[in-house]
Amino acid sequence: MTAYGLNHKRAQQHTDAALKLMAELGVISQPNNFQTFYAYVAKTNTDLCRTIDILRSNHREFDEAQCEELHVRFFSDQREREIIERISNDLREQLGNILNTVHKVGIDTRKYNKALDHFCSYVGDKDRDLGNLEQALHTLLGATREMEGVNRTLESRLTNSSSEITRLREDMENLKREALTDGLTGIANRKAFDMQLRDAMMNAMEDGKPLSLVLLDIDHFKKFNDTYGHLIGDQVIRLMAESLKRNVKGQDTAARYGGEEFAIILPNTQLGNAVMFGDQLRRYIESHKVVSKSGNTTIGKVTASFGVAEFRPGEPVAKLIERADKALYLAKENGRNLVVGEQQLEGNDVVSGTQGLDSRDAQAIPAQ
């Protein structure tokens, strides 16, 4: 069989496997989802495969929001490429304008130098007379004014180019911020979370200090969407993000992890303190209600489930996330609106409220 035949056969096998898996998981058959799961079965993206494996091992639902998050995270960089291309084209245009202006000034400068040389030569001529001297001065004055005009033009064009380049630099900064910001909530997105978590893990190993990760998921979010529609669902997600903004401060990082799930990176924080922080946040969220945009109707109370894990020096990112995700799943399995620390994973003896704290953990928490 030819190489083309082998590749075609392999591609067909991947296609069949992707469609079969999508059907098993209840994933809607549409192009973006097919692209995601084809890459998964073909094992062309290690991070994507690891993420889906974690979601499957924790029995996570691959609903519309989850599938969209996967595609955005791993494939949707088209808009970023388009913006970069536009900025690059504008920069090339501005550099071209500057070079053309400098080239013209170079020609005019050589012309002016010739006028100066001619005048100097005439001044040194013993046969000069007043009339010719006056004519030479007139010529030199005209050349000088012309050069002044050229310099003003150069200055104006360079000023305009400088302003345009400054604007393009601001566009680049905005693009960088946009690439790391969740569009719906305004907090860090998954890409920013991945970068921040890796940096935090490196710092924790270098400094020998603790690091904890909190994953939280909005309880019964699908019911909000199914009952009230996606606009209310988006409002619930924004309310959750606002709760994080108000409670996550300093060196800590809050991010939208995907769909209705959020993550908090807590440097210099041991597991017990992280669990206590999670419960404070849980109670804060529980105390707020979702109201209609008109403000006349209370739609309901929002709660969230939390899973907390502490970084073990030397372990890969996926292992830390996996433990936090398993703790989160355990919190949901045991009634939701709970905070579960990773040490509860072995015993699974979850009762109520905040889990994973013993007396030593409580004593280690400073007074608020």
**Collapsed DSSP state (helix, strand, coil) of residue 256:** strand
Cα–Cα nearest to 188, from 225, 126, 241, 111: 241
Residues 6 or more apart in contact with residue 231 via CB below 8 angstroms: none
Q: How far is CA 256 from CA 126, 152, 216, 240, in A?
A: 86, 52, 10, 10
- CA–CA distance, 261 with 255 (Å, rounded to integer): 9
Cβ(254)–Cβ(216) below 8 Å: no
Cβ(262)–Cβ(240) below 8 Å: yes
Which of the residues 148, 242, 260, 333 is marked catalytic? 260
- CA–CA distance, 329 with 296 (Å, rounded to integer): 35
Q: What is the CA radius of gyration of the chain?
A: 32
- CA–CA distance, 328 with 342 (Å, rounded to integer): 9
Q: Where are the beta strands (DSSP E) in 107-259?
A: 211-218, 253-258
- CA–CA distance, 259 with 215 (Å, rounded to integer): 13
Amino acid at 320: L
Cβ(147)–Cβ(108) below 8 Å: yes
Q: Which tokens hold the place of 96?
A: 């071209």
- Exposure string of 126-157, with b = 16+ CB inside 10 Å and e = fewer, is eeeeeeeeeebeeebeebeeebeebeeebeeb
Catalytic residue status for 286:
no
Catalytic annotation, residues: 260
